[in-house]
A = this chain, B = another copy of it.
Amino acid sequence: MFEAAELGQKISKEVFKKEEPKLRQELLSAQYELKKQSKFPVVVLIAGVDGAGKGETVNLLNEWMDPRYIETRAFGLPNDVERAMPPMWRFWMNMPAKGRIGIFFGHWYTAPILERAYGEIKTAELDAALSEIRHFEKMLYDEGALLLKFWFHLSKKLQRKRLKKLAADKDTAWRVTKTDWKHFELYDKFRKISERALRESSQAYAPWTIVEGMDPEYRSLTVGRTLLDALKKRLKNPEPPKPMLPQLPAVARVKGKRMLDTLDLTRTLTDKEYDKQLTKLQGRLNLLLRDPACANIALTLVFEGCDAAGKGGTIRRVTQALDARQYRIVPIAAPTDEERAHPYLWRFWRRLGKRGTFTIFDRSWYGRVLVERVEGFCAESDWQRAYTEINDFEEQLHHAGNITVKFWLQVSKDEQLRRFKEREATPFKRFKITEEDWRNREKWDAYQNAVNDMVERTSTELAPWHLISSQDKHAARIDVLRVLCDTIEDALKRARKRK
């Protein structure tokens, strides 16, 4: 694959001088059009061999275009906040908003390729990482991002020559580090691994462009032209891409009985039993969370449920067991304008808790496949792909030491009506019931269907759904607390075993 980028391509300085002003002018116009439309972000990845002109090219792009609307991000070793988060967190936090260009030096390909080259992971693990990357980039594409990936290449001979030349000149010697030479020694290994990585991750929606890196004029014009063509093409048709075929459900659909039908809504609890259990479970939870091993776990709770199913009250019975400094509750409402300018999951990534913290989401990323699906706030293709995206997201949380516990609180249609009426009749509860609740109620069946689909497709071993009958609020609170305690206890046991 790389041989095609070892042909010794050259462009003369004269040709370059003639081409450059035109290209520059066109790039600048395209960039301003991008900003004016503000319909999609541009994500540019810069990768490849050291000394092949990555830095120079990016500087040139910043010079040619208006650097005020370009975000160039270089990622080195993670800082201590980043280390307490899933690896992808820092890339999410630096995603450009619609209308802007983000250039990434160091990105999601860096770690897997380096780790494979240094023998820290096996080929199978590299492939697994690449598979995750494919999903991630597919999501970016589906969210409307224009994604371009440039690989700067040099043959082994030319790289040696280039590094020596840089090291010999006192003005550029600082740019050649020990690490560069160490990487050079592994050239053949890197080449093989990189080829695999590129092959496995080049997709129509996220193509790799290999750039022959020796001749500055050639590589500059190549990258500039590629970027310009992609930009111009997309600006003509800036709306998010045509929906691709919806992905298959994660779980084959069961005819007849569905998940929610299995729920026993008749379970009740006496007041006495409730008080006894509540005290016991809250004490247990408090004790569990004081375990020193919790410092390495991020606990993420997700509460979803029918309107008036008692999410708020249940959450309060959980937090009563805790010190207010230990937890954070994130109530999810309509997205802000900054959130709308980023891919869907961005607003949840930015609210994630780091290791050692306890975060409770009152409604969550599942809004996509519930309210947004039923109310038509997003296209069918958007909520269809969300199942996979969410599973990928929760898998990342899991790998970063996160325990995700998800609850669906269910009441019957009649019980909901009773509670709505009660709320309307009680002065200090009246604010809890709105026109919207009544409107949502009319779509009861559609919502129930969406919940069943959600549970079937996103209840995974790593982050299972717990369906809770909230017909009796007391019973629901006890059930939630018990599941929570059991889950944490299991996690702590596993953590101790690993030691």
Contact = CB atoms under 8 A, between A and B. Distances in A.
Given A29-B428, A79-B80, A431-B36, A325 B71 contact: no
Contact of A312 (B59, B66, B316, B336): B66
Interface in A26-71: 28-29, 32, 36, 55, 58-59, 61-63, 66-71
A28 B59 CA distance: 56
A356 B81 CA distance: 17
**How extensive is the interface on chain A, given as a class?**
35 or more
Contact of A324 (B32, B66, B103, B329): B103
A336 B316 CA distance: 32
Interface in A481-497: none
A72 B174 CA distance: 47
A132 interface: no
Nearest to A103: B324
A338 B323 CA distance: 28
A459 interface: no
Q: Which of A36, A59, A73, A324 has the most CB of B within 10 A?
A: A324
A29 B430 CA distance: 11
Contact of A336 (B29, B80, B336): B336
Contacts of A316: 63, 66-67
Nearest to A331: B68
Given A81-B79, A336-B337, A32 B312 contact: no
A53 B59 CA distance: 57
Interface in A410-446: 428, 431
Contacts of A74: 325
A57 to B, nearest CB: 10
Given A337-B336, A338-B338, A324 B58 contact: yes
B320 A63 contact: yes
Contacts of A431: 32, 36
A480 to B, nearest CB: 15
A41 to B, nearest CB: 15
A62 B71 CA distance: 40
A450 interface: no
Contact of A323 (B28, B55, B323, B324): B55
A69 B331 contact: yes
Copies of the chain in the assembly:
2
Contact of A338 (B61, B67, B336): B336
Interface string A287-323: 0001000000000000000000000100110011011
A394 interface: no
A362 interface: yes
Given A331-B69, A428-B25, A319 B62 contact: yes
A92 interface: no
A329 to B, nearest CB: 5
A111 B267 CA distance: 53
A67 B29 contact: no
Contact of A59 (B105, B323, B338, B362): B323
A328 interface: yes
Contacts of A80: 79-81
Nearest to A84: B79
Contacts of A79: 79-81
Nearest to A320: B63
15 contacts: A55-B325, A58-B325, A62-B319, A68-B312, A68-B329, A68-B331, A69-B331, A70-B329, A71-B328, A73-B325, A74-B325, A79-B79, A79-B80, A105-B325, A336-B337
Interface of A: 25, 28-29, 32, 36, 55, 58-59, 61-63, 66-74, 79-81, 103, 105, 174, 290, 312, 315-316, 319-320, 322-325, 328-329, 331, 336-338, 362, 428, 431
- A-B pairs with the 10 shortest C-beta distances? A74-B325, A72-B324, A68-B331, A62-B324, A68-B329, A58-B324, A336-B338, A80-B80, A67-B319, A59-B324
Given A25-B428, A58-B324, A79-B81, 14 more contacts: A29-B428, A55-B323, A59-B324, A67-B315, A67-B319, A67-B324, A68-B331, A70-B324, A71-B328, A72-B324, A72-B325, A80-B81, A336-B337, A337-B337
